[in-house]
């Protein structure tokens, strides 16, 4: 990776966190000179309805981050606790104000085609596409246009197919890490939440 990032923001619904989320963080941990990986669970989003209560989701995310046993991997609940819509631009602005620079944000390669259509002003869309630092992850079955313009890097790693939706709707507990699975069974399934 050229211009190796030192700080990365991995934003996601994490409803619940899966083995795919874990594989992503594991891959990010291997980036040379990485100092901090902020796991940033989203709060309200235009494209999401959370089907797990927030107190339960928070606990599952805390367990997930603790599993890494790596001081570089931290959770930031700023957006989770907010009433404001969580957006990639909002996350970028927040960390620019906090740290003085834009962190690299992680996206699946499948969002490249939709980014140009995200509901932003023309100026914000140009910043998002051209300037905001991004790390794209390959996704199975998604062609990645490497001619795509903008400030991005490609993390070429294999991420298992593991959907949070499959966990919730099909009770695919095999898609969860061991400690999250135990907590999910106790906090969600046993309580019929």
**Out of 3.90.1150.10, 3.40.50.10070, 3.40.50.620, 3.40.50.1820, which CATH number does the structure's domain 7-188 have?**
3.40.50.620
Beta strands at 134-137 and 104-108: parallel, antiparallel or unpaired? parallel
Beta strands at 152-155 and 134-137: parallel, antiparallel or unpaired? parallel
Q: Count the alpha carbons within 13 Å of 71 in the hemisphere toward its beta carbon.
A: 0
3-state secondary structure of 73: strand
The residues, any chain, with a CB within 8 Å of residue 82's CB and separated by 6 or more, are: 43, 44
Does residue 112 carry a pLDDT above 80? Answer: no
The encoded tokens of residue 147 equal 């001619």
3-state secondary structure of 17: coil
Could you give the CA distance from residue 77 to residue 62 in angstroms, rounded to a whole number? 10
- From residue 110, alpha-carbon distances to 3, 104, 137 in Å are 23, 17, 9
Residue 1: its pLDDT value, please?
41
Q: What is the mean pLDDT of the chain?
A: 88
Sheet of strand 36-41, all strands in order from the earlier edge strand to the far edge: 73-75, 36-41, 7-12, 104-108, 134-137, 152-155
pTM, 2 dp: 0.90
Question: For residue 37, what are the β-bridge partners?
Answer: 8, 73
- Give the whole-number percent of the chain exceeding pLDDT 70: 92
Residue appearing with tokens 């910043």: 127
pLDDT, tens digit (0-9, with 9 covering 90-100), for 113-135: 788 788 778 888 888 888 899 99
Could you give the CA distance from residue 97 to residue 141 in angstroms, rounded to a whole number? 37
Residue 45: its pLDDT value, please?
87
């Amino acid at each position: 990776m050229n211009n190796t990032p030192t700080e990365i923001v991995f934003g996601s619904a994490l409803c619940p966190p899966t083995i795919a989320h874990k594989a992503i963080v594991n891959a990010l941990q291997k980036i040379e000179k990485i100092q901090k990986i902020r796991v940033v669970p989203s709060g309200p989003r235009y494209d999401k309805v959370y089907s797990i209560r927030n107190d339960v989701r928070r606990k599952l995310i805390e367990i997930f981050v603790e599993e890494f046993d790596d001081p570089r991997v931290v959770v930031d609940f700023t957006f989770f606790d907010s009433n404001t819509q969580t957006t990639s631009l909002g996350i970028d602005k927040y960390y620019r104000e906090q740290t003085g620079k834009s962190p690299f944000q992680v996206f699946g390669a499948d969002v490249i085609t939709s980014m140009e259509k995200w509901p932003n002003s023309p100026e914000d869309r140009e910043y998002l596409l051209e300037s905001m630092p991004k790390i794209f992850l390959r996704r199975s079955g998604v062609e990645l246009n490497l001619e795509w313009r903008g400030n991005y890097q490609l993390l070429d790693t294999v991420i298992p197919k593991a959907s949070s939706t499959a966990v919730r709707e099909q009770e695919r507990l095999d898609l969860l890490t061991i400690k999250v699975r135990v907590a999910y069974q106790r906090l969600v399934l046993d309580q019929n939440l």
